[in-house]
Structure 1
């Protein structure tokens, strides 16, 4: 019994230390010296309160980027030719699929997401730039920072043995969004928001040291845009 109590105390202490580390990670910025580039490339970070996406220009002439070409889907190229931006997000496959129809995933889905599991990339086409607000932050980044962010996002997509992207049969939540197979495993220490945060960090954009929650990402990136 004493051994059980000791194990329980150790477990509670470990949980407290982990929660404290995550909280402090939100408050500790990296790339503190980041400043928006006045004539830079527009980038947005958006949140629905739980999940964050990186929003990029659909076409970016300075870097020669055209997502409609890169995504290798003629139907999308026709449907979204007049659109201006595309949102990119990474997350747990089961959680994404359980969210169809606006449903909140059940407890079982949430618990399974705590252990390593398969992931998807979620893309959402925007006809115009997101409007900055409490859940959307606008930035201007240098060409070099944009290229680093671009490389990070593109490297997150999985490809088949022939080198092609792997869209899944199900459509997205609306006629404007879709899912593709992604690289990496989702778990409690590698969340959708951590994916966004890591991309910002690697690109030299202000971010949190650790960002398990959407608010963690938005807080630091907003400070960087001020």
Structure 2
């Protein structure tokens, strides 16, 4: 039993370590165009988040333009409810962290693009087609549990008033973690990002960087 607890603790400590910063492989300035939309993969240390320009949120997910009317970018992150909404303060909290449980989706509003808010180091910019953004928005909305009014069900307010936690339909497990959820979302959008064994933030950032390079236009040779 003690050995199992030590193994779990080692895993948690690894998850909490900051992954190496991954600069964006390429990408547009944070503006929208008719052809592509900049979507941001953000390394927050122990987990990753997806940033979508507020103006590009499609379908029902446009609900968050009403929640955060002054936002330029909306970040979406995933995690276990008890661990995400109330930061761990004891060894016991960390030991029970990986066990299955209800999940939440954190929604954070930024008045700037993520690369301006956090620097270029922990941000990868992905240039998505509008149809890909639609699929990404649909995936996120599909995992938001709704209340009786049909709107996403708010369960907690973050330390920052521009940070809110909403109930998720899916459950958090050792095989469906915060980073796996982000990789799955990008894959559902049609990007070459696999969620297989996506446990650590660094793994997802590396896969996102490879996808960003694949999306880069190849410069034509000079005549």
Fold match (TM-score > 0.5): yes
| Aligned match of 1:59 | 55
- Mind listing any 5+ residue stretches in structure 2 that lack a counterpart? 12-25, 214-223
RMSD of aligned C-alpha atoms?
2.8
Equivalent residues of 2:179, 2:198 under 8 A apart: yes
- Pair 1:187 & 2:173 matched: yes
What count of residue pairs does the alignment treat as equivalent? Answer: 183
- Pair 1:215 & 2:208 matched: no
**Aligned with 1:48 (options 24, 44, 56):** 44
**Aligned with 2:188 (options 202, 218, 221):** 202
Q: Please give the alpha-carbon distance, in whole angstroms, between the structure 1 residues aligned to 2:92 and 2:111.
A: 36
Give deviations 1:61-87, integer Å, cap 9, x for gaps: xx75585x5149x6x3xxx32321100
Q: Please give the alpha-carbon distance, in whole angstroms, between the structure 2 residues aligned to 1:54 and 1:105.
A: 26
Q: Please give the alpha-carbon distance, in whole angstroms, between the structure 2 residues aligned to 1:133 and 1:145.
A: 23
Residue 185 of structure 1, CA deviation = 1.1
SS at match of 1:183: strand
- Mind listing any 5+ residue stretches in structure 1 that lack a counterpart? 1-7, 20-34
Residue 142 of structure 1, CA deviation = 1.0
SS at match of 1:118: strand
Residue 112 of structure 1, CA deviation = 2.1
SS at match of 2:106: strand
SS at match of 1:133: coil
Q: How does 1:17-36 map to 2 (within 5 A)?
A: none
Equivalent residues of 1:167, 1:181 under 8 A apart: yes
Q: Please give the alpha-carbon distance, in whole angstroms, between the structure 1 residues aligned to 2:98 and 2:69.
A: 38
SS at match of 1:152: helix
Equivalent residues of 1:59, 1:65 under 8 A apart: no
TM-score, length-normalised on structure 2? 0.72
